[in-house]
Amino acid sequence: MRDDVSLPDNPQPRGVAGTALVHKIAGYAAEQGKSLQEVTGIALEAINHVASIGVAFSSCNIPGESTPDRVKPGTCELGMGIHGEPGVETLPVKRSRELVSLMVDKLLCTTGTAQPVALLVNNLGGFSMLEMSLLTREVLCSPLAKATELLVGPATVVSALDMKGFSLSAITLTEAFREALLAPVEVAGWPAVVVPKQPGVVTSGRRITPHPSTPSENGTVKAVLATVCETLRDAEHELNALDARVGDGDTGSTFAAGAGRVAAALAKGMLPLDKPDDLMIGGGRASGQRHGGGPAAC
């Protein structure tokens, strides 16, 4: 493998995450009954069509070794190897769009945009899926998107233990490579290959019609509802503390905010208190539209 393009004109480029794409293509050829010589030829052809570049915000922690501190806070290293080998350039931390743009420019010097490519967005081990999804969005908004026919990831395919970083690998597609990459496998570590699409507006065929209701009075319901609202507001901090043990600690605030709105409507005489069905339907719809807090608010 020699897919690392972080250093132009390097006589001995490193092998990095593009390895996974070559393995998938070579493995498919072997599965089809090709001879060892044929599989070798296909793998070598794939190697000549793949380019990769990575960036890391930390090195990897190798068991039994001291914690590396080469990458200083506020910096990142372009082209760091998957075993923590030094990169080609130390950069100040940039916005994700700027960093992706720099990496894409280097990839395009090798792949261009004239031919379609399969793109692997690879987590080097220490990034969250939220971060990887953000980076994938930036890549698919870059000039490389024009040539990206197939997308692999974002996923941890070729990792560097716990290295905080990611890499991009692009392989120029031939019909044989396309068929090989799309072929299903039972290996859990190989993510689904998808065709990237730009977000579009979908018109819903189902519309929620307003449920009209007329304010009415019911002393018993009013008293119960007022007590519920007061109880939820009083329990805000306690509920937040409980939620913080298993979630994001906002359940109490979510319930208190909803209770405050209901209490305000109750004080203004705006609720159909004598129509329990209307009261529940209206309250449910209002909560669904206005409450935050994710599942805790449901």
Q: Report helix, strand or coil for 172.
A: strand
In the annotation, is 291 catalytic? no
E strands, 59-199, where? 75-78, 89-92, 117-123, 148-155, 165-172, 193-194
Distance CA 95, CA 92 (A): 10
Q: Which residues contact 78 (CB under 8 A, 6 or more apart)?
A: 6, 53, 54, 55, 87, 88, 89, 90, 91, 102, 103
Active-site pick, 23, 49, 83, 211: 83
Which tokens sit at 41?
Answer: 């030829």
5 close to 47: Cβ distance less than 8 angstroms: no
Distance CA 250, CA 240 (A): 5
Annotated catalytic residues are 83
